[in-house]
Structure 1
Amino acid sequence: MDILQQTIEQITQPDQISMRAMQHRLNQLTKPLGSLGELEHMAVRLAGIQGKPDPKLERKAVVVMCGDHGVTEEGVSAYPSAVTGLMMGNFVRGGAAINVLSRQFGAEVCVVDVGSRLDPTPEGIVNRKVRGGTNNMAKGPAMSGAETLEAIQTGIKTAHELADQGIAVMALGEMGIGNTTPSSAMSAVFTGRSVSELTGTGTGLEQAALNAKIAVIEKAIRINKPDPADPLDVIAKVGGLEIAALVGVILGAAARKVAVVIDGVITGAAALAAFRLEPRCKAYMFASHLSVEPAHRILLEELGLRPLLHLGMRLGEGTGAALAFPLMEAALKLTDEMATFADLGLPSPAPEPEA
C-alpha cells in the first residue's frame, strides 16, 4: 500500500465523547451560554482532535514549504523567481515576518525545500527537493504524476516527524514566487468558477499584468485539461510542488490527530485538494484569516470553514495562520482557569452530557 493511501485510511473523525465533555465544561463557566463564540468552538474541536477533554497546545509549529514555478516565465509575478531563494535565506536568519510572529507566539518554524531552484539548499532548511521548480504549466503539465506523489509524501513525512516530536498544532506556510497562479488555477478547476473571478494581484500586479496573468491561467487550464474529479491530476497539471507538499502535511497531520491552521490562498488551495482526496481531514482544519486574494473566500466557502480574522493580509509564509495560535491558546486558557457556577454556589445552567 502506498504512503498516501495508508495515510488517508488512518484519518478518523474527532472523538465525540471528548467534544461533549469540553462543551459541558464550557457551559458550566461563569458566562452566558455560547457567549465566547468561536473561542468555544475552537476549544470543543481541539478536544475532539486530541481525543481528550483537556487538550493542550504545548508545542506549535509553522511548516513553510518552498518551491519555484516555471510559469513565472509568463510574467505572472511582480518579482523574479530568485526571490524564493533569497527569502529562504531570510527564514534561516530569522528575519522574515513569519519568524517574528513565531517568536512572539512561541512557535517553531520548519522550512522545507521541496522544489526551489536554489542550490545548494542552505543549512537550517530541510532539503527534500523533488526537483528544482515546476515546468511552465502554460505549455504543459507542471509536474508528472510521480513527482506529485513524491511531494505529497514529503509533506506526510514532515507532518509525521513533527507529530512525533510533540507538535500539537501545525500552521501552514509557503514560499514560492508565482504560486498564486497555480492556486487560482486549482481553485478554478475545483470550483468551476471563472479564472477572472478568482485571480488577484498576488505580489502586486498592475491591471494590465493582472489581465495577462488571467489569460495565462486560462491557457494552462485549456492546454492541460485537468480533471476536477481527480485531485492528483489537478495538482500535477496546474499545481506546484510546495502546494502538493502542503496537501501531504494536512493529510499527515489529520492521520496523527494534529490540528492544522490554513493561511491564505495558496494553503487554501492545498486544503481544498486535501479535502477532495479525503473529506474527513476537514475536521482537523482551522481557517485563520480571510486573505484579500479573491479565490481565498471561495475556497473557504467550499470547505465550509469560517475565518477567525479579517486583516486585509496577503503575505503568505504562514503569517495569518500564526495569528490563530494565541486565539487557540486563549480558548483553552479560558476553559482551564475560569470559575464555574458551582464555584460561586450557583446552580448549573446546563445538564450533564449524556454518556
Structure 2
Amino acid sequence: MNRQEIEIILNKVTPPSTPFRQRAQERMDNLTKPLGSLGLLENIVVQLAAIQRKIIPELRKPHALIFAADHGVSEEHVSRYEDHVTEEMAVNIAMETAVSSVLARHNQIPLDIVDVGVKSVVRHPKVIVQKIRAGTHNIVYGPAMTSEDVDRALHVGYEIATEIILRGTDVLIAGELGISNTTSSTAMACALLQRDPREMTGMGSGIDDDHRMHKVNMIAQALAVNQVDPEDYWDVLTKLGGLEIAALVGAYTKAVESGIPIILDGLITTVAALGLVRVNAECRQYFIAAHESHEPSHQALLTAMDLKPLLKWDMRLGEASGALLVFPLLQQGCAILKETATFADARVSNPHAKESLMVEPMPLEHPVRTDFSESERESFYRVIMGRRDIRIYLPDPIPQVVLQRVLMAAHHAPSVGFMQPWNFIVIDNPDIKRRLHEVVEQQRVVAAQNYTDMRQLHYLRLKVEGLLEAPVTICVTNDSHRGGPHVLGRNTIPETDLMSTACAIENMWLAARVEGLGMGWVSIFRKEDVREILGIPDHIDPIALMTVGYTPYFPEIPLLERVGWEQRRPFDDLVYFNRWSCSDH
C-alpha cells in the first residue's frame, strides 16, 4: 500500500448518506426536548447516522489504535521529555497503567499500541511491533523520512485497521505516542495552512515561554531547510512529519473506505486527518473531533476542516485520551436518539411541529442496525423451516442444562399485557406418563368418530403421540386469571391469554430444534383427565402435552403432509393487503 494506492481508495470514497441524515434529523427534531437543546451532540449523532446509513446509529464495537514513533527533532530539546520516554510510555500503556489504558478498560474498549518507529526495543509483548525505522531524521537539517518510509508506514496503518475492521470494529478511536511529535505536527500545520510558526506553536507537553520560542525557531528552520510544497500533503508529510502520522493516515484510509467513523484525539491525529481531506474533501464527514487542545495549530486545523470539537478542556496528553473520554458521550447521544420518546409517542404537544423537518419515509435497506449477522439470520430461518412435530424418540435422557434452556426460551415468549399465563410441568415419571398415554389413547379412539370410511381408517393408523417413548413430557398450562380481572391489551379479545401461551410453546419448540431435540404436541385429551393426573387446580387449563427427546431423524417435510393427510396451503392464497380479498371465503 503506497500513496498512489491510498489516493485511488480515497478518491472513491462517497459522502455519508443524505437520506439517512435527513431521517435521523427528523427524528431528533421530534424528540421530547426543545429543538437543538443538546447542541453539538445532536449534530454528531445525525452525522453518525449518515455514516452508518442507519436512522438510529449505534457504536457497539469501538477499537482504539495508538501508533508510536520517535522524532529526530527531539535532539533539539523541544520537549520537556527525552525520547526514551516514548518507549517507557508504550510499556506503560501495554501494562494498562496509563491514562488511555484506564479509560479504555473502564469503557471496555480494546486498545492496541503499534510500534512503527520507536528508537529502542519496546519491552512488552503486547506491543505490536511493525517498526519502519528507529525514529525519523531531524527535520531541522533535512527531510524526516524517505518516500519509502512513508509508504511502509501507510501500509502498516492500513493493514492494522483492516484486521480490526474484519473483526467487527464499527468506530476507530485514533491515538499516537511520540516525544516531540507536536513539533513535527506543528511544522506540518504551518506548511499546509501557510501560517507563521510564532502563531501556531503551543506549549506542547508543558514547556515554558523560553522553550516555546526555541521550538518556534526550530520549526521555522525546518520549514526553511525543507522547502515543502504546501499543496502536496505527501511532500509535507515526508519532509516534516512522523512515522506514526503516516500510519494514522493509512488506518484512516481503511476506515473511510469501510464507512466507519473516526474519533480524532488532538493535534497529531488531526494533522493526519487533513491528509485525507486534501485528497478528497468528502472524507471530512467521517471525522469527529473529540476535543480542542490548547495547541494553536490544532485549533487552526479544526477550523480548516470545519470540524467542531465536543470538548474544550485544554487537554494535551495525547495517546487517544481525549477521544476515549468522548466515546461514552457519543454512545449516550445515540441512545438518546434511539430511546427517547417523540412528541407523538409520548402524547405530548409538540410546540415546534411546524418547524421540524418532516422527511417523507423512503425505501431504505435496513433503516436501523440489525442485531444479527447474515449467517445468524439464515440459521434462524433454517430452524423455523426445520421444526417438525416429532412422534419417534430415542430413550436417551436429556441433560438438565439443555432442558433448562428450552424452558427458559419458553418463558421469554411475548404475552399480552406481560401477563405470562403459562406454567410448565416436567414429567419423567414412567407411571404418570403411562396414565397420560391411557387417557390420550381413549380420546384418540373417540376422535376417530369425526371421520368416516377410508379417512377414519387413515386416522387410526396415524401415530399421534409419543408419550411412552419420549424421556420427558412437558405439560403446558394456561392461567386465564393471571394478571387480575383486567389485563392490558385484553379488553375485547379475552382469548389473548391462550395466544400468549401458544407463543411460549412455539419458543420452546424452536429452542428444542436448535438443541437437536424432537418435540411433539399432544392435544387429544380431556382437560379434566390431565388435571386429575397432574394435580392441576380447576381454574388452570392444561392446553398441551409436549413430548421431548432425541429423535433418529427430522423429516424433510411435516408428517401429516408426508402421509397425505393434508398439504401446505399456497402462501400467496393466505396473504392479503389492506382488505380481505379471498373470493372463496
SS at match of 1:268: helix
1:98-137 residue pairs with structure 2 within 5 A? 98-119=100-121, 122-137=124-139
Q: In structure 2, what is the equivalent of residue 245 of structure 1?
A: 247
1:259-338 residue pairs with structure 2 within 5 A? 259-338=261-340
Whole-angstrom CA distance in 2 between matches of 1:18 and 1:351: 13
Whole-angstrom CA distance in 1 between matches of 2:21 and 2:357: 15
Paired AA for residue 151 in structure 1: A
- Is the 1:183–1:269 contact (alpha carbons within 8 Å) kept by the matching residues of 2? yes
User: Which of 21, 25, 31 pairs up with 1:29?
Assistant: 31
Whole-angstrom CA distance in 2 between matches of 1:84 and 1:7: 32
- CA deviation vs aligned residue, 1:303-354 (integer Å, no higher than 9, x gap): 1011111111101111111122111111111111111212233566246413
Whole-angstrom CA distance in 2 between matches of 1:289 and 1:153: 28
Q: In structure 2, what is the equivalent of residue 92 of structure 1?
A: 94
Q: In structure 2, what is the equivalent of residue 16 of structure 1?
A: 18
Paired AA for residue 170 in structure 1: L
SS at match of 1:110: strand
1:222-261 residue pairs with structure 2 within 5 A? 222-261=224-263
Whole-angstrom CA distance in 2 between matches of 1:291 and 1:347: 42
Q: In structure 2, what is the equivalent of residue 51 of structure 1?
A: 53
> 1:351/1:151 Cα in 2 relative to 1: closer, same or farther (>3 Å)?
closer
Whole-angstrom CA distance in 1 between matches of 2:122 and 2:76: 26
Does 1:221 find its partner at 2:227? no
- Is the 2:71–2:138 contact (alpha carbons within 8 Å) kept by the matching residues of 1? yes
Paired AA for residue 164 in structure 1: L
- Is the 2:25–2:357 contact (alpha carbons within 8 Å) kept by the matching residues of 1? no
- CA deviation vs aligned residue, 1:56-100 (integer Å, no higher than 9, x gap): 111112210100011111111111110000011111100110011
Whole-angstrom CA distance in 1 between matches of 2:196 and 2:7: 32
- How many residues are treated as equivalent by the alignment? 355
Structure in which a larger fraction of residues adopt helix = 1
Does 1:144 find its partner at 2:150? no
1:146 CA drift (Å): 1.4
- Is the 1:171–1:262 contact (alpha carbons within 8 Å) kept by the matching residues of 2? yes
- CA deviation vs aligned residue, 1:234-263 (integer Å, no higher than 9, x gap): 000000000111122222211111111111
Whole-angstrom CA distance in 1 between matches of 2:315 and 2:34: 33
- Is the 1:13–1:283 contact (alpha carbons within 8 Å) kept by the matching residues of 2? yes
1:204 CA drift (Å): 2.0
- CA deviation vs aligned residue, 1:27-56 (integer Å, no higher than 9, x gap): 221112222222221221111111111221
Q: Which runs of 4+ in 1 moved over 6 A?
A: none
Does 1:353 find its partner at 2:359? yes
- Is the 1:77–1:178 contact (alpha carbons within 8 Å) kept by the matching residues of 2? yes
1:105 CA drift (Å): 2.0
1:3 CA drift (Å): 3.5
> 1:266/1:170 Cα in 2 relative to 1: closer, same or farther (>3 Å)?
same
Paired AA for residue 3 in structure 1: E
Greater Rg by CA? 2
1:120 CA drift (Å): 5.3
1:12 CA drift (Å): 1.1
- Is the 2:173–2:264 contact (alpha carbons within 8 Å) kept by the matching residues of 1? yes
Name the Cα RMSD after superposition: 1.6
> 1:36/1:205 Cα in 2 relative to 1: closer, same or farther (>3 Å)?
closer
SS at match of 1:333: helix
Whole-angstrom CA distance in 2 between matches of 1:326 and 1:160: 24
> 1:340/1:233 Cα in 2 relative to 1: closer, same or farther (>3 Å)?
same
Paired AA for residue 133 in structure 1: G
Q: In structure 1, what is the equivalent of residue 560 of structure 2?
A: none
Structure 2: unaligned runs, 5 residues or longer = 363-585
User: Which of 192, 201, 204 pairs up with 2:203?
Assistant: 201
SS at match of 1:323: helix
- Is the 1:3–1:153 contact (alpha carbons within 8 Å) kept by the matching residues of 2? no
Whole-angstrom CA distance in 1 between matches of 2:123 and 2:273: 27
- Is the 2:7–2:279 contact (alpha carbons within 8 Å) kept by the matching residues of 1? no
Range with greater deviation from structure 2 (53-62 or 94-103): 53-62
Whole-angstrom CA distance in 2 between matches of 1:34 and 1:75: 47
1:171-210 residue pairs with structure 2 within 5 A? 171-210=173-212
- CA deviation vs aligned residue, 1:195-235 (integer Å, no higher than 9, x gap): 01111121222222222111111111111111111100000
- Is the 1:4–1:153 contact (alpha carbons within 8 Å) kept by the matching residues of 2? no
> 1:39/1:137 Cα in 2 relative to 1: closer, same or farther (>3 Å)?
same
Paired AA for residue 321 in structure 2: T
SS at match of 2:15: coil
Q: In structure 2, what is the equivalent of residue 7 of structure 1?
A: 9
SS at match of 2:132: coil
Whole-angstrom CA distance in 2 between matches of 1:324 and 1:61: 13
Whole-angstrom CA distance in 1 between matches of 2:346 and 2:290: 35
- Is the 1:50–1:257 contact (alpha carbons within 8 Å) kept by the matching residues of 2? yes
Q: In structure 1, what is the equivalent of residue 455 of structure 2?
A: none
SS at match of 1:124: coil
SS at match of 1:31: coil
Whole-angstrom CA distance in 1 between matches of 2:337 and 2:260: 20
